[in-house]
Every structure is written in structure tokens, then in C-alpha cells.
Amino acid sequence: MGGVPLAEIAAGAGTPAYVYNADIIRARYRALDTAMDALPHRICYAVKANSTLAILRLLRDLGAGADIVSAGELARV
């Protein structure tokens, strides 16, 4: 994952573990953003789908908005 063997990640983090690849998230975000180029748009991420701060910060830095439904989700973004 990102050049690091999953077995190595599991050994360091333990299992079960969630593993994300920031490069893939960036690429997918940019692909969606590019596909919508002809239309005025703003991509908003549903915080309830995954409220991991690193993911939220990554998406924020890419320009994403946040779809929130609670004060707790608002506090995360």
C-alpha cells in the first residue's frame, strides 16, 4: 500500500486496521472534479461515511466541502 507491504503495516499497527492510500484518494477526487469541469460544482464529502481526521484534512486540502448532520460531525471538520 503506497509502497509499504500490508504485512508490514499490520505488524506495526496490529489488526484489524483500516489502511488508506492518500495518493489514490487524491487521484479519485481529482478525476471526479475533472469529470464535472463543465458544470459549476463543489464536491462535498459525507463525514458520516468516515470521520477519520487525516481523511477529512486531505479532502479539505483538495477543496472538498463537508456534508454534516450533527454537531459532532461539525466539530470534526
| Per-residue burial over 43-76, b = 16 or more CB atoms within 10 Å of its CB, e = otherwise | eebebeeebeeebbebbeeeebebebeeeebeee
pLDDT score at 4: 87
On the question of pLDDT at 1 being above 70, the answer is no
Helix (H, G, I), strand (E, B) or coil at 52: coil
Q: Is the pTM of this model over 0.85?
A: no
pLDDT-based confidence at 65, cuts 50/70/90?
very high
pLDDT (tens digit, 9 = 90+) per residue, 15-63?
Answer: 998 999 999 999 999 999 999 999 999 999 999 999 999 999 999 999 9
